[in-house]
Amino acid sequence: MQVALELNSLTKKFGNLVAVDNLSLKIFEGEMIALVGPDAAGKTTTLRMICGLLGKTGGTIKIFGKEISIGDKEIKKSLGYLSQKFSLYGDLTIDENIEFFAEIHGVQNFITRREELLDFTRLKKHRDKLGDNLSGGMKQKLALACTLIHTPKIILLDEPTAGVDPVSRRDFWKILSELLKTNVTILLTTQYLDEAERCARVGLINEGKLLQFDKPSNLEKSLTDQFIEVVCSPIRKAFKILLEETKIQNVQAFGDRIHFSLSGSNMIIPQVIEKLKNSSINVDSWRNINPTLENVFISLVTDEEKKIN
């Protein structure tokens, strides 16, 4: 498979702050890759360097084997970038917004392409609506159409479904799935781990460092600890008790249940349950569960913090 996008030791510093720290990864043509991490992890900074909006401090960026830098025309030709705050024009219709971005990218005969994108994003029946009158989900679809108007080979999506309702999120992902069939390469950032699991590979990033980069299934299998789910009440009291137990890690509360991990044998689980019951915790049930990407990420971040401390 051809490498569409390659980052080698990509670094960005703002004074003494290292926003992106020696980031290296290869993305193959036709892949959809997710960068996952909290706010200020370096995700947006990475995308802005790739698309030439921000200069890099060190490292290289290659598009289909060619090294690129700020001002390189290859960036504008090959990449489409949907930023977190995409600048649609509220006083223009959907048609007019797409036409405007076609002119920016020098697309001469855009009419046919616009019709294809309106069909593709399911916006054709809304084409005469003003940007200000669109829902959040429709605005994101329009933003994607504007990003695709010049037929880029690689698209960069910065948290494309943030703040979008669940139905629109699902519809947006259906569109991305259809887009992959055209062999477009997609690099997106997200804080939604359920979205990341749909991608071919996932990069877990924190404080500018790439912690792991692999298939979601491989990342989940990388944790060897047991993961337990306990349904109990009162949940806050149980959470506090489990946090104080030295043999228990990765304690997370979800509604009426708690997830945690154990590095010991199964024999310790009854002891944990007994301790909860002796502390006046009502335990309805418990079971072994498979680790999730969230478990993997928290485990990796915890390990990094231990190394620093």
CB–CB of 151/109 below 8 Å?
Answer: no
Sign, CA dihedral 119-123-127-132, equals: negative
DSSP 262: E
- Give the per-residue pLDDT at 24: 97
DSSP output for 276-291? HHHTT-EEEEEEEE--
Q: Report residue 295's pLDDT band, with 50, 70 and 90 as the boundaries.
A: confident
Nearest to 214 by CA among 205, 206, 203: 203
What is the C-alpha separation between 108 and 37, in angstroms, rounded? 39
Cβ(137)–Cβ(168) below 8 Å: yes
Identify which has the larger pLDDT, 74 or 230: 230
Task: Say if CB 10 and CB 22 are below 8 A apart.
Answer: yes
pTM value?
Answer: 0.85
Q: What is the pLDDT of residue 196?
A: 92
224-290 is classed CATH 3.30.70.100: yes
Residue 49 CA to residue 51 CA, distance in Å, equals 6
**CATH for the 3-220 domain, from 3.40.50.720, 3.10.105.10, 3.30.1360.70, 3.40.50.300:** 3.40.50.300
Predicted local confidence at residue 307, as pLDDT = 65
Least confident of 69-73, 215-219, 288-292: 69-73
Residues 249 and 261: beta-carbon distance below 8 Å: yes
Give me the pLDDT at residue 303, please. 72
pLDDT confidence bin for 309, thresholds 50/70/90: low
Do residues 160 and 136 make contact, with C-beta atoms less than 8 angstroms apart? no
Banded model confidence at residue 146, pLDDT cuts 50, 70, 90: very high
Residue 14: CB atoms within 10 Å: 9
Q: Break the chain into its structural domains and give their ranges.
A: 3-220, 224-290
Inform me whether the pLDDT recorded for 53 exceeds 80. yes
Q: What is the average pLDDT score of the chain?
A: 89
DSSP character at residue 174: H
229-254 pLDDT tens trace: 999 999 999 999 999 887 888 888 98
pLDDT of residue 191: 83
